[in-house]
Structures are given as C-alpha cells and as structure tokens.
Amino acid sequence: MTLDKDQIRKEFRVKRKALSEEEVQASSEQIFLRFKSWLEERSSINHIHIFLPIAHHKEVNTFLIRDYLFEKGIKVYTSIIPEGKSKMDTVLIDSNTNYKIDAWGIPIPVNVEPVEPVEIELVLIPLLAFDEKGNRIGFGKGYYDQFLASLKPTVLKMGLSFFSPVKSISSEKHDIPLDYCITTEKVFTF
C-alpha cells in the first residue's frame, strides 16, 4: 500500500521531534561511520555536495561528514538559496568557511561565491522518510528535486535517515529517487 505523502511527512516529523539531542548525536555518529566505510570503498569520488543540518528539525549532523571530507582532501559543496530566488546556488566550502544561521535555522556559509556544480559526483540529500525503492519525502519545497534535475545523470544520490524505510511512497514524474540511503542500521542500495 502506498501511503499519502502528507501523512508520511506528518508522521516522520513527529518521530523526529521525539528524538532527544543525545539520540540525534549518537545516530548521526553511526550514520557517519557507515558513510565513511561506504566512501572508503569508492576512492574515486572527490567532489561531494552535502546539506548542512537544521538543528531544530533534528536532521542528521552532517558536520561530522563535512569535517572528515575536509581531512581527506575531498572538495565539499553545499547550497544556499539567495534571498528572492526559488532555486539553490551551489557553493564550495572549506575548513576556513564561516557560517551564520538563517531565519529557517540553516547554517549558511558566508563570503562564498556560487560555482557551477559540474564536478559533483555525490549529493547527500536531507529527507524525512524514504521507501524500499529509493523514493523520498523532504519538507515539500522541491528544492532538491530541482537541483538534482540540473546535475549530470551519473551523479549519485544518497539520503541519510534516522529511520528505516516505509513500504512505498507515491512518486511523481519530477521526483528523483535515491541511489543509496544510510541509516543507523545499514546502507540501502536501490
């Protein structure tokens, strides 16, 4: 049975809200270790786009991944949504990048210039839920679907989730499925 997206979104917001700060951190560390093992088997990946976590949404702490990628010498990208725009700009960040928290609680890199995302090989995608086929649900704004559609088709798409997949999520023509999703339990491949 395919569940309604709004229903799943509501359910997983409640599940996430119920997590303690300690659970978020411990689960983020488990996800980081699984990501690290996954990446070690793919040493040819050198350009990775990450999302920066919104603390009050209790997102996976990707700062652990970011810092590891910096240590490995991997180019790290993230996105910002310039005021008045409806699509994300890609920016390159490094260990010297400073951040400010915007009105939505997103850590935003400051003093960075947009770059063309042509070299990106892997995108880490925020999500609320995913299903057994790699369909995902975010917060419903569509920013990542639009961003992913602008990248070359060979770019790998990876979700990070505190929870196991649901059976099935309805998908629309513009939805772009994941290639992988890492949870505290395992790496799912689709």
Binding residue numbers for ATP? 5-9, 136-144
Q: Residues within the annotated binding site for substrate?
A: 52, 59
Q: Residues within the annotated binding site?
A: 5-9, 52, 59, 136-144
DSSP characters for 2-26?
Answer: PBPHHHHHHHHHHHHHTS-HHHHHH
DSSP annotation of 119 reads G
Phi, psi angle pair for 96, to nearest 5° = -95, 0
Whether 177 contacts 9, CB under 8 Å: no
Tokens of 142: 């569509």
DSSP characters for 150-170?
Answer: TS-TT-EEEEE-SSPPBS-B-
